[in-house]
Amino acid sequence: MALALTGCACAQAITPRGTAPLSGTGTEGRGHGTLKSGDAFAPTNTSKGRQTMPFSEGKWVSISAFEKVPDDEERLIDDMHTLLQEKMAKDYPPGQTKRDAHPKNLACLQAEFIVEPHIPAELKEGIFASGLTYPAWVRISSSSGKIQSDEVKDLRGFAIKLMGVKGERFERHNEEQETQDFILISYPTMPLGTVKLFHEAVYYSIKWSPLVFFSRLVLSGNIHILNELRKAPENQTSPLDIRYWSTTPYLCGTDHAVKYSLVPTTSLKSTLPPKLTDHYLTENMEKHLATNEASFDFMVQVQTDPGRMPVEDAGVEWSEKESPCIKVATLRIPPQSFRTKEREELAEDLSFSPAHSLIEHRPIGGINRARVEIYRRLSEFRHKQNDTQLREPRK
């Protein structure tokens, strides 16, 4: 997850050492409900028209009716790509280049994604159109841009790659032919939720220091963003115990903008060790999966109010009181041994992107438009530096 959260790396600079762990990112306080087939949604945007806009390689890409693209976005995206690639080249020698964010792999797990047979008709698009089961790979990671001990508070990433997915593909930087990726993190919003804010974070943090960026946030009256960056990192018991969110929106068909969430449903829960260690998160998952499976409800949240549920600002949380999450699938992770050389190599070889998608689930919004451009370029750079090939797994 290349652009995943520069802000989380910055957040460590403003998180006091010794602070007591915050409460877990579970389901408490964030209730979700279910709807039966035939239940109606409030209308959002039923226009099926598309606009087109150029990107830096001279190609044109369609823009959904939910999106509004700022005039300077292409320049900001190009600039972020240049800055991040230069940083990767500086930080890692050839042959040892890691991802620019989420470089620490906590687990690479085999899973299956079981689509519910009975979901609301409005959501029966793409992979949700029929109750199929897809084999999947899951990469669980720490968000920080540098590999560090698990005892350091951080966000966790949860990337899912479904295989054997047939259908029309999203048209931009989608080199994989039969996959569907879902990219989630352990916080409901991306505090730096616009391309402009993300560009400022990348530019000032790399060219100057995170403190310069923090000062700019304070002077511009965005102290609430600093508070979000401080709250987001945690010491979790296990990545299998906590909830995840997509933070960014996607289409469901042509008429609905949605976000995704992953809610743990396994009764077995891990505990924090008496002393946090460098790899306690991986060790807790290893203990869990030695004899027990892990499972999650995969949820969809539909945009019901474009004003209060914006597409172009991933820093705004969509209220689950206004639009409850709806279960559309189960993610099942069977017992397995995953601390092997082969799994480590696979975790490095796999590439995850919002662009790896069917057209029915295409990514929308500024942060996703930036991700689609930057993820692909940085992935190509990383694989070239390491003399490895981009790898699409097959079921």
What does 180-233 look like in DSSP terms, one character per residue?
Answer: EEEEEESSSS-SS-SHHHHHHHHHHHHHT-HHHHHHHHHHTT-HHHHHHHHHS-
Task: Tell me the β-bridge partners of 153.
Answer: none
Q: What is the pLDDT of residue 99?
A: 85
pLDDT digits (tens, 9 = 90+) for 279-296: 999 999 999 999 999 999
Is 70 exceeded by the pLDDT of residue 33?
Answer: no
Cβ-Cβ contacts under 8 Å for 24 (sequence gap 6 or more): 234, 236, 237, 241, 242
Query: What is the structure's pLDDT at 53?
Result: 53
pLDDT reported for residue 161: 98
- In this predicted structure, the answer to whether residue 100 has a pLDDT above a threshold of 80 is no
pTM: 0.85
pLDDT at 48 over 60: no
Please give the average per-residue pLDDT across 357-381, as a whole number: 94
Question: Residue 174 in contact with residue 356, Cβ under 8 Å?
Answer: yes
C-alpha distance across the termini of the chain, in Å: 22
